[in-house]
């Protein structure tokens, strides 16, 4: 039979055994955890990381420097350089040429010595239509064919003025209308200057 006095000793031994067993189990669990990586880490190592697909850009398709001009328009611009000179009695007095052809216009003197302002698409004397305006010439269309009209040279101007004055020289034997011819030339120059000033004012507004 157990002695009642031995009960505390047995209880202390049992408690110590339980504490030792619990400590051993906890130490074993920590040792197992240290030896083997956690499940999440194993899964991350087993499956490689997915990278986002690289963005493929075709540099040739990018319009970094603007849209190129179509081939038909380029060919049209090149062809206008070799157009024949018109034989109409027209004199190019002034041009206003910019990037937008629809706003370009020209001062053209007709056979009646009247200088008028014409916009692209309007009909000039001689049943010709103004198509393009350039810095030194204009392109007109007559009977379905394109022609060009350049600024007159100094020699052409002198020959034109001499032809205009020829009848007055013959008539000067009876009278002196030569002064009137000079006035007409001066008035015509003033008219051209007035037209140019009017054109500049329109562009400013």
Structure tokens belonging to residue 143: 């009977």
For 80-102, what is each residue's pLDDT tens digit? 778 999 999 999 999 888 777 77
* Residue that has been written with the tokens 């619990």 in this structure: 22
105-144 in b/e form (b: 16+ CB < 10 A) is bbbbbeeeeebebbebeeebbeebebbbbbeebbbbbeee
Report which DSSP code applies to 142. E
Q: Tell me: pLDDT of 37 over 50.
A: yes
124-128 average pLDDT score = 93
Tell the burial category of 146 from Cβ atoms under 10 Å away from its Cβ (0-12, 13-18, 19+). Answer: middle
Confidence tier at 203 by pLDDT (50, 70, 90): low
- Reply yes or no on whether the pLDDT at 70 is more than 60: no
- Spatial separation of the C-alpha atoms in residues 182 and 165, rounded to whole Å: 9
Is pLDDT of 42 > 70? no
Tens of pLDDT, residue by residue over 150-202, are 998 754 444 444 444 434 333 333 344 445 555 566 677 777 777 777 776 76
Rg of the chain, C-alpha, whole Å: 50
DSSP-assigned letters across all residues of 54-92: P----GGG--TT-PPPPHHHHHHHHHGGGPPBP-SS-EE
Please determine, for residue 79, whether its predicted confidence score (pLDDT) is greater than 70: no
pLDDT reading at 38 higher than 90 = no
Q: What is the mean pLDDT of residues 61-69?
A: 51
Architecture of the 72-204 domain: Roll (2.30)
Position 47 confidence tier, pLDDT thresholds 50, 70, 90:
low
Domain definitions of the chain by residue range: 72-204
Positive or negative, the CA dihedral 69, 204, 130, 135 is negative
């Amino acid at each position: 039979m157990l002695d009642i006095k031995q009960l505390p000793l047995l209880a202390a031994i049992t408690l110590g055994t339980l504490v030792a067993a619990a400590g051993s189990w906890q130490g074993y669990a920590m040792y197992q955890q240290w030896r083997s990586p956690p499940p999440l880490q194993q899964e991350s190592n087993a499956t490689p990381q997915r990278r986002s697909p690289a963005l493929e850009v075709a540099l040739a398709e990018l319009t970094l420097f603007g849209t190129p001009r179509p081939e038909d328009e380029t060919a049209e611009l090149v062809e206008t350089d070799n157009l024949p000179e018109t034989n109409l009695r027209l004199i190019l007095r002034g041009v206003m040429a910019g990037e937008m052809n629809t706003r370009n216009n020209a001062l053209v003197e007709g056979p009646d010595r009247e200088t008028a302002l014409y916009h692209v698409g309007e009909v000039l004397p001689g049943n010709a239509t103004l198509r393009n305006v350039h810095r030194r010439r204009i392109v007109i269309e007559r009977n379905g064919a394109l022609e060009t009209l350049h600024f007159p040279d100094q020699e052409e101007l002198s020959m034109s003025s001499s032809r205009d004055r020829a009848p007055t020289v013959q008539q000067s034997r009876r009278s002196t209308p030569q002064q009137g011819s000079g006035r007409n030339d001066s008035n015509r120059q003033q008219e051209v200057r007035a037209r140019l000033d009017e054109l500049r004012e329109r562009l400013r507004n």
